[in-house]
Structure 1
Amino acid sequence: MQLAQPRDPATLRAYEALLQATPDLLYVFDLEHRFVYANDALLNMWGMRWEEAAGKTCLELGYEPWHAAMHDEEIERVIATRAPIRGDVPFRHHAKGMRIYDYIFTPVIGADGTVEAIAGTTRDVTDRRMHEEQLELLVNELNHRVKNTLSTVQSLVRQTLGTADDLQDGGARIESRLLALSRAHDVLTRENWHSADMQDIVKGVIAPYEATPGARFKMSGPVCRLTPQRALALAMALHELASNAVKYGALSQDGGEVHISWDCTDADEGAAMAFTWRESGGPEVQPPTRRGFGLRLLERGLRNDLGGDVELAYAPDGVVFRATAPLETAPVEGAMPEMEHR
């Protein structure tokens, strides 16, 4: 079949330059479903020369039978309806592997008003599709996190007000707990919510409680990364420990200190974290007479969120809190075995 050509050679050359320069795949089928034109982009996708592809159908060019049959039906529909159709399909690029292509088949109307050929254009949309899928996952994840955060705030407010002495006391407690939650969110946001390092979590929690870094909090441990859920849970627990230490424990008087340490192990049964908060130099410890929200958070909520075990001991010389939990990833190789807080 001979397609109509512009009479002006310069115009013909301009058309050909455009057809060959575009990254889109451009082609023409005759009424027998044979390729009578293919630009360089399509030939490169096939990994063929035009001499190898000219006059062949999709099936003869190696398309999967279902794929060739689909295009055969679409070509016949374009001829019958004289209307373009659009679709998308996976196809293997000879060098890039499996890709996703968006295509349009359009009727070419001859001088007598009948369809004399079918022109097609195809675009590789693999990267765009992957981006759209990733964006959808991110939106779904964001919705999930927002719902979880709102549930956490709702529970925090309800339980705090239920154990507060009055509205002023309850408001102050709620504000401090929301700030602790916010600081933990800041750490995770910097890490794109993938995970958070233990040192960053601890430093974020204790920062409001010490004027001179390292004066009252002694911190040591290797690099140890926690999932977002465990990082938030531990941050809230540390906030409760620090608040209690300021009111009743080691930080309530001069000379009191808090020693915070952790370790990460990579045993045969899987990686695990062990965390310890130990107070010293404060007043003699007395077990609490009532179990408020903070205590329930430390003993029960944290155990559930960590998926491990917790222990809170009221030793006479200072509160001791221990927590253990499995980790999804092993500790980072080459991490500093000990690092003093600065």
Structure 2
Amino acid sequence: MNIDFLELAEASPNPYVLMDRDLRLVWMNRAYCAVTMRAREDIIDRKMFDAFPADPDSESYRQLRESLDHVLETGEPDEIALIRYDIARPDGGMDTRYWSATHTPLHSPTGETSYILQHTVDVTEMHKLRDEVNVLRRADAVQERNRSLERESQRLLEFFQQAPGFVAVLGGPTHVFQMANAAYLRLVGRDDIVGKTVAEALPEVAAQGFIETLDEVYRTGKAYIGRREPVLLDGDHEPAHARRVLNFIFQPISDGDGTNTGIIVQGADVTEEVEYEERQELLIQELNHRVKNTLAVVQSIAQQTFRAVPDSAPAMATFKARLHALAAAHGLLTESSWSPASVREIVELTVGATFGPLDDRVPLDGPDFLLNPEVALALTMIVHELTTNAIKYGALSDDAGRVHIDWSVNAREDCDVLSLTWRERGGPPVAAPSSEGFGTRLIRTGITSKRGTAVDLRFEPEGVVCALEVMLECGAHHEPSAEGPISSPSMPG
């Protein structure tokens, strides 16, 4: 069977064109003419880049030229997976086209490439479809990002609404409420403030001068911090219609170029905390008043009792001194509202009340550690007894003696330990007493009954030495703060 292969190629639905070594178009089939919108007689015997011109500096020209040169130089086929090559329409306009091309060499008997057969496929629609798919994918990605942003915005809005402190956002120089969380609405006792200026929504706040403060923050860009400021609110429901005490900040909001655009109002209602402290202060003052009255009554009873006892004046003086020391310790704690007191303050106050100015006779050496009020009271009584004995019999009974008091706080396995040493030197020789009086027994009792607390009272010839060890804060160690750590030991009884 004889087959006319040229006729077969002519009838092929696939576009083919044949060019010689000079890239002259020597044959093309009907499909090629159709896809390129050219008549055979218009392009036959013309060079490829004359029949289908392209800018020599363009990527289209470079891709096609390099592929054809490769076939001519190597004698091997070459493919262009995708090339944009625009062609002219019959009406003179240009069509944007995308192609896929295969260049196959046809060799002469000597093996030289004589012709190049180009099989070209118009993939413009496929390329558009791919672009559309990519667009859809990008659109899906953008939509997913938008949904993610929406979810994130919703979470931020929920956090904003559920924040325990009150928060509001004011916009512009007139301070229009743009947002306000539930805590802020409860505070002011209104639900309809968004969209209104502060002056319109809260006229009572404007009357108290806060608009001027907001104006200053907006103008200068400097935040304003209010600490325990009283504010009168006239809202329709609790906790408004009352005097509130607030901690708050007016924080300016600025855009990229530093221009102020609004203010964030954020804070907390500390009314109950302040009222509690005021009640506590009142109770402490009442307690102090009653303690002083009780001590006065005790002193009066003691005076009446000792009056009938012969030679009781020295004992009465000692008793009064102990009462005065106790009263001084109560006064120190009352001044600090029965908050922890420092070791240094306790020692200075107690020794000074009995001996006078410490000067260089009683040097102190130790950190500003804070003690629980109960421990502070007990330490006051012990230091008072030691000071009294030193004045009567020890290093402070003449002009030469000195008392050195040092203390430290050390962390042990389970507890912090306060170690305080009272050391007398330079006074008259010391001998142990033949019997213990109340003062000595009070000292030896120590500060607490906690296991591990110890008192070592020694009557050395050079002077009395008293070493106290007090177990503090068992079960937890605390790093010293700027004000010192706080101990909370229990007391006997």
| TM value normalised by structure 2 | 0.38
Query: Could you say which residue in structure 1 is the equivalent of 2:328?
Result: 183
Counterparts of 1:307 and 1:157, CA distance in 2: 39
Aligned counterparts of 1:271 and 1:323: Cα–Cα separation in 2: 14
Aligned to 1:168: 313
Cα displacement string for residues 304-340 of structure 1 (whole angstroms, at most 9, x for unaligned residues) = 499822221112221111111233474635799xxxx
**1:92-115 CA distances to partner (integer Å, 9 max, x unpaired)?**
xxxxxxxxxxxxxxxxxxxxxxxx
Conservation of the 8 A alpha-carbon contact between 1:266 and 1:331: no
Q: Pairwise mapping of residues 313-328 of structure 1 onto structure 2 (< 5 A)?
A: 313-328=458-473
Pairing partner for 1:290 from 435, 439, 461: 435
- Find the counterpart in structure 2 of residue 240 from structure 1: 385
For the pair 1:308 / 2:453, whether they are aligned, the reply is yes
1:273 aligns with one of 418, 434, 437 = 418
Where do 1:204-283 residues align within 5 Å? 204-208=349-353, 213-283=358-428
Aligned amino acid, residue 317 of structure 1:
E
Q: CA deviation at 1:165?
A: 7.8
The alignment-based identity, stated in percent, is 29
In structure 1, distance between residues paired with 2:322 and 2:335: 20
The 3 A distance-change label for structure 1 pair 200 and 133 is: closer
Please tell me the residue identity of whatever aligns with 1:203. E
Q: CA deviation at 1:215?
A: 2.8
What are the within-5 Å matches in structure 2 for residues 47-66 of structure 1?
none
CA 1:327–1:182: 2 relative to 1, 3 Å: same
Choose the corresponding residue for 1:42, options 187, 190, 204: 190
Say if 2:446 and 2:453, in contact at 8 Å, map to a contact too.
no
CA distance 1:48–1:198, shift in 2 (3 Å): same
Q: 1:293 to 1:146 in 2, by over 3 A?
A: farther
Equivalent residue of 2:408, what SS? strand
CA distance in 2, matches of 1:252, 1:190: 32
How far, CA to CA, are the matches of 1:220 and 1:196 in structure 2? 17
Amino acid at match of 1:42: R
1:196–1:245: structure 2 CA closer, same or farther, 3 Å change rule? same
Letter of the 1:215 counterpart: D
- Give me the whole-angstrom Cα distance separating, in 2, the residues matched to 1:174 and 1:198: 24
**Cα pair 1:280 1:318 within 8 Å, conserved:** yes
Cα–Cα, structure 1 residues 175 and 141, in superposed 2: closer, same or farther, change >3 Å?
same
Task: Report how far residue 145 of structure 1 moved.
Answer: 7.0
Q: Pick closer, same or farther for the CA change 1:289–1:145 going to 2, 3 Å.
A: farther
- Unpaired stretches in structure 1, ≥5 consecutive residues: 1-39, 50-119, 337-342
Unaligned runs of 5+ in 2: 1-187, 197-235, 246-270, 485-493
Flag the structure with more relative contact order, 1 or 2, with Cα contacts below 8 A and sequence separation at least 6.
1
Distance 1:275 1:332 in 2: 18
Q: 1:157 touches 1:174 (CA, 8 Å); kept in 2? A: no
Pairwise CA distance, 1:257: 1.3
Task: State how far apart, in whole Å, the 1-side matches of 2:369 and 2:453 are.
Answer: 16
> Structure 1 278/138 Cα, relative in aligned 2: closer, same or farther at 3 Å?
same
Q: Which amino acid aligns with 2:458?
A: A
1:165-206 deviations in Å (ceiling 9; x for gaps): 843123211221122223323332332321111111111122
The letter of the residue matching 2:456 is E
2:265 aligns with none
The count of aligned residue pairs is 227
1:59-118 CA deviation, whole Å, 9 max, x = no partner?
xxxxxxxxxxxxxxxxxxxxxxxxxxxxxxxxxxxxxxxxxxxxxxxxxxxxxxxxxxxx
Cα shift readout 1:20-41 (whole Å, capped 9, x = no counterpart): xxxxxxxxxxxxxxxxxxxx94
Q: Report if the CA contact (8 A) 1:222-1:262 is conserved.
A: yes
Query: How far apart are 1:142 and its partner, in Å?
Result: 6.3
Is the alpha carbon distance of 1:231 and 1:121 closer, same or farther for their aligned partners in structure 2, counting shifts above 3 Å? Answer: closer
Q: Is the 8 A contact 1:222 1:335 kept in 2?
A: no
Describe the SS at the equivalent of 1:176. helix
Distance verdict in 2 for CA 1:44–1:168, change over 3 Å: farther
CA contact (8 A) 1:306 1:325 kept: no
Alignment-mate amino acid for residue 464 of structure 2: V
Give the stretch that moved more between structures: 210-219 or 267-276.
210-219
Equivalence for 1:103: none
331 and 282 in structure 1: CA distance in 2 versus 1, 3 angstrom threshold: farther
